[in-house]
């Protein structure tokens, strides 16, 4: 078996691993790169392999950084099956068309700008039609069910406890007469968390490809109910709203459960809780359609309420654009949960535009904020941000609560690792920020004695006895399309500095250009 790392290598997003064994080629995940411009640019480049030659895909879960380039794979000739749990299939059925819609409208905007500048236009990465075609290739399975997607390859999906349907994937194959097992952690969830089960224990792995998002971090204790209630009640007292950017899948449902419990406990002044994101509304429906994934506490709540615990009377789902626009007029007493979770797309941007400048409002971050996103800039304390081309003074309270993550922290990841009965010979660390991965690799090696590697983009390893480095292939970045946009951005910023007569900044730029050219 040979593995090549084509994404989430020394970065968090873009999960994509190419596996080759006895003439079969398959992928684990085919995710989109998210974050800064250079990362996003990779989504526009050709795949470094021929999609038509890929026999099948195993998908760990529905998050776009794992599934988001599947429609592009189909657009370029992939015709095999995509194996995933039934929960993942259902979530993808709303998330991939949503992602296609975002691609189409972003490119439309970019093209308007390129046309105005007399530059050639670009094509969307994929369209709604590609997404619809992709959905026909899915094969839904259950946890612990044995599947044989190709001869001599056996696969089992285990519960990763991260989002609905999320999986740890175990792949068994025979190499020179010996049975070997490679395990992909996917994104690992939390222990004793809301709604879902704990991550499953794995019996055996010879090789492990493991995520490391929170490799050197420890989640704070979740704010006590009282603390969270205080943040909300204080905001209402000041006459503001609480805006919560939340990923449509999982984070949103977690927060609903949390807020519900505050209302039930009588801790929160009865405000109105709005879920304002069409995708969040659909994802919540899918959660409610799959009570088999709920943990015991959530099942008990469902029984108590006689309905899905995510759809109690306290929650108002705003479906139409009119509902959403009406929310912009609400000055006080509203909790608005909206997507995207990193505040760089979707309806949340409207709510931020209407509330960020108001000292009486609060913006509550409850998820991971990748470098380069609006969410990260706000959490970092930036005082002026641009939304829809408009500069906004940040006066609202910015609160980042870290305890709500859907990713296990260092303690939880090490716990999951130590629960593997027959330990791997090698661990490949992926899906993390480069600056933190070395340190986490060292901690793993110290605690377990397992050799831990941090592969770079395009590196291949042969998995026999130990992981052997084979080669590093270069990823060709397509510089024609989206890079024009980068040029226009730089141009625009320089023009702004000219208009503002920021001569020192311009001299600095000139000096910098001299240095690097
Ligand atoms: Zn995820
Ligand atoms: Zn992920």
- The Cα-based distances of 376 to 212, 342, 344, 412, 502 in angstroms read 19, 7, 10, 24, 26
The structure's pTM equals 0.87
Assign 7 to helix, strand or coil.
coil
Least confident of 196-205, 267-276, 373-382: 267-276
Where does residue 192 fall: left (phi above 0), alpha (psi -120 to 50 degrees), or beta otherwise? Answer: left
Distance 371 CA to ligand 2 centre (A): 14
Which ligand ends up closest to the CA of 8? Answer: 2
Distance 213 CA to ligand 1 centre (A): 10
Give the pLDDT confidence of 125-175 residue by residue, as tens digits.
999 999 999 999 999 999 999 999 999 999 999 999 999 999 999 999 998
Query: Using alpha carbons only, how large is the chain's radius of gyration in Å?
Result: 23
Percent of the chain with pLDDT over 70: 97
Distance 62 CA to ligand 1 centre (A): 7
Give the pLDDT confidence of 220-254 residue by residue, as tens digits.
776 667 788 999 999 999 999 999 999 898 889 99
Distance 183 CA to ligand 2 centre (A): 16
DSSP string, 392-460: EE--SEEEE--TT-SS--HHHHHHHHHT-SB--SEEEEESS-HHHHHHHHHHHHHHH--EEE-PPTTEE
Distance CA 258, CA 281 (A): 17
Distance 15 CA to ligand 2 centre (A): 7
Q: How many other C-beta atoms can be found within 10 angstroms of the C-beta atom of residue 451?
A: 14
Distance 267 CA to ligand 2 centre (A): 34
Q: Which residues surround ligand 1, an ion (CB under 5 A)?
A: 63, 187
Give the pLDDT confidence of 398-454 residue by residue, as tens digits.
999 877 788 999 999 999 999 999 999 999 999 999 999 999 999 999 999 999 999
Distance 145 CA to ligand 1 centre (A): 22
Give the pLDDT confidence of 173-183 residue by residue, as tens digits.
998 889 999 99
Model confidence at 481: pLDDT above 60: no
Distance 35 CA to ligand 1 centre (A): 15
Residue with more model confidence, 368 or 484 = 368
Give the pLDDT confidence of 25-73 residue by residue, as tens digits.
999 999 999 887 788 888 988 999 999 999 999 999 999 999 999 999 9
Distance 443 CA to ligand 1 centre (A): 23
Ordered domains of the chain (ranges, CATH): 2-217+406-472 (3.60.15.10), 225-400 (3.40.50.10890), 483-516 (no CATH)
What pLDDT is recorded for position 161? 96
Distance 162 CA to ligand 1 centre (A): 7
Distance 269 CA to ligand 1 centre (A): 33
Which ligand ends up closest to the CA of 189? Answer: 1
Distance CA 328, CA 456 (A): 45
Which ligand ends up closest to the CA of 13? Answer: 2
Average pLDDT over all residues of the chain: 92
């Amino acid at each position: 078996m040979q593995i090549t790392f084509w994404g989430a290598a020394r970065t968090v997003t873009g999960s994509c691993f190419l596996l080759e064994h006895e003439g079969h080629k398959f992928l684990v995940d085919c995710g989109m790169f998210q974050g800064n411009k250079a990362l996003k640019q990779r989504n526009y480049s050709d795949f470094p392999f021929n999609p038509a030659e890929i026999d099948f895909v195993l998908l760990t879960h529905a998050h776009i950084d794992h599934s988001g380039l599947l429609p592009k794979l189909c657009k370029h000739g992939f015709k095999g099956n995509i194996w995933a749990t039934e929960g993942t299939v259902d979530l993808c059925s709303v998330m991939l068309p949503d992602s296609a819609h975002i691609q189409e409208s972003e490119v439309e905007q970019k093209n308007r700008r390129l046309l105005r500048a007399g530059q050639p236009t670009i094509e969307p990465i994929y369209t709604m039609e590609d997404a619809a075609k992709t959905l026909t290739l899915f094969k839904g399975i259950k946890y612990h069910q044995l599947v044989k997607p190709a001869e001599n390859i056996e696969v089992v999906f285990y519960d990763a406890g991260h989002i609905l349907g999320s999986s740890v994937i175990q792949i068994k194959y025979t190499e020179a007469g010996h049975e070997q097992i490679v395990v992909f952690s996917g994104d690992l969830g939390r222990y004793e968390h809301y709604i879902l089960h704990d991550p499953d224990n794995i019996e055996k792995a010879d090789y492990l490809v493991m995520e490391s998002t929170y490799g050197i971090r420890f989640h704070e204790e979740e704010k006590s109910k009282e603390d969270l209630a205080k943040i909300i009640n204080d905001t209402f007292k000041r006459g503001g709203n609480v805006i919560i950017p939340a990923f449509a899948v999982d984070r949103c449902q977690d927060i609903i459960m949390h807020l519900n419990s505050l209302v039930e406990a009588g801790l929160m002044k009865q405000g109105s809780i709005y879920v304002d994101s069409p995708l969040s509304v659909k994802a919540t429906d899918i959660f409610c359609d799959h009570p088999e994934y709920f943990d015991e506490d959530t099942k008990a709540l469902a029984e108590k309420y006689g309905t899905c615990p995510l759809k109690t009377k306290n929650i108002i789902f705003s479906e139409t654009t009119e509902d959403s626009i009406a929310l912009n007029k609400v000055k006080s007493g509203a909790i608005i949960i909206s997507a995207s979770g990193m505040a760089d797309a979707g309806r949340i941007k409207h709510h931020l535009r209407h509330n960020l400048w108001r000292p009486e409002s609060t913006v509550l971050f409850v998820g991971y904020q990748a470098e380069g996103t609006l969410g990260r800039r706000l959490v970092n304390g930036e005082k002026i941000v641009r939304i829809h081309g408009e500069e906004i003074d940040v006066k609202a309270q910015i609160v980042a609560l870290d305890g709500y993550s859907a990713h296990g922290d260092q303690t939880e990841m090490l716990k999951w690792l130590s629960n593997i009965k027959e330990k791997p010979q090698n661990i490949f660390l992926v899906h993390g920020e480069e600056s933190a991965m070395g340190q986490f690799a060292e901690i793993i090696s110290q605690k377990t004695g397992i050799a831990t590697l941090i592969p770079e983009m395009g590196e291949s390893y042969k998995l026999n006895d130990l992981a052997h480095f084979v080669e590093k292939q270069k990823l060709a970045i397509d510089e024609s399309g989206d890079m024009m946009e980068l040029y226009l951005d730089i141009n625009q910023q320089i023009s702004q500095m000219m208009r503002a007569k920021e001569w020192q900044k311009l001299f600095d730029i000139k000096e910098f250009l001299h240095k690097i050219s």
